[in-house]
Amino acid sequence: MDLLNTLVEKGLRRELPTREEALAVLATPDDDLLDVVAAAGKVRRQWFGRRVKLNYLVNLKSGLCPEDCSYCSQRLGSKAEILKYTWLKPDEASQAAAAGVAGGAKRVCLVASGRGPTDRDVDRVSKTIEAIKEQNEDVEVCACLGLLSGGQAERLRAAGADAYNHNLNTSEGTYGDITTTHTYADRVDTVHQAQAAGLSACSGLIAGMGESDDDLVDVVFSLRELDPDSVPVNFLIPFEGTPLAKEWNLTPQRALRILAMVRFVCPDVEVRLAGGREVHLRSMQPLALHLANSIFLGDYLTSEGQAGQTDLDMIADAGFEVEGTDTTTLPEHRAEALGGGCGSHSGGCAPCGDSEPAAEVPTADVPGARTDLVAVRRRGAGTDLAPNA
């Protein structure tokens, strides 16, 4: 296909596709899906070889969030029967992180529900970062604490944080439809604060809440402009007890097309296969490794993922290899631009949106939707049970 040849050539040159080309990827028929995956896979291999970076989530504080994000199981008014607990102590968080590192994780992501951290919260997380680094000097630590205020990013960086995650989640045009307690501009500002402090920016999206193809392209093009080092691609986990509980809009094929579009638009960025992959990609997860070069290992914030050993087996069986701590994640030109920080060593959250689905998007009656695969996390951080790693 001329389209795919053009997109491969642009990806190898780090050239931005046109909006029309990005939309065309999302519109390709299922019969051409393997061609799309193969083309995007060439771009992935150019910049990341066959390496897969493993990341591990630690939910420092679960539930009881004052924000009203329609997609989130931890939102204000959520009736989802998730774990609810206040801050883990630094040693508890460090023990939880150690399980992920033992499973092969190169990065530990420390997440806390809420609008944003207080200065006391930053102190608490700083001590947690120090505790993790004492036990695992080479591990990367990414914080995801919500909206930042002045000086907080710098304090996290001084404590040893390598990265900060704050997802855009959806397009600017639809953001107000899914959250009223903060704005899209607030999210962009937080990513800029992290970058200004020398933290590696991690910002992504999550699909599957009925958004149009235009919305998906809008948010991915906005991410390209924001220029984070890693882009997590989440797929909505429709939790019972949230406003989007009935939004089953994804097929495995559509999820793969979305990942391919992200790779073409962000060719040299760490694209992370994140929340919802087990629910929506299911047996087609190995194909997604040809598009994404990074995944979360084990469980998520409030939902359970597949067994950590199953993740490792999947990577090996698909012909990929787990990236070690002595390997640079980012391509040389990006690692140098970052100044030798995160990704150059030698959530979160679910998607947002409750707008009406566009005509070409599958409806909530998608054949084969696996509602039974949504499992609330009952192990690991905040419990007495061993974590999944």
Q: Which residues are catalytic?
A: 65, 69, 72, 109, 142, 202, 272
The sign of the torsion formed by the CA atoms of 386, 166, 192, 12 equals positive
**Distance separating alpha carbons of residues 53 and 136, to the nearest angstrom:** 17
Considering only CA atoms, which of 172, 237, 167 is closest in space to residue 209?
Answer: 237
Considering only CA atoms, which of 275, 299, 352, 276 is closest in space to residue 67?
Answer: 352
DSSP 314: H
Show Cβ contacts of residue 160 under 8 Å, excluding neighbours closer than 6 positions. Answer: 126, 129, 130, 133, 141
The whole-angstrom distance between residue 217's C-alpha and the CA centroid of its chain comes to 17
Show Cβ contacts of residue 180 under 8 Å, excluding neighbours closer than 6 positions. Answer: 68
Spatial contact of 291 and 44, defined as CB atoms under 8 Å apart: yes
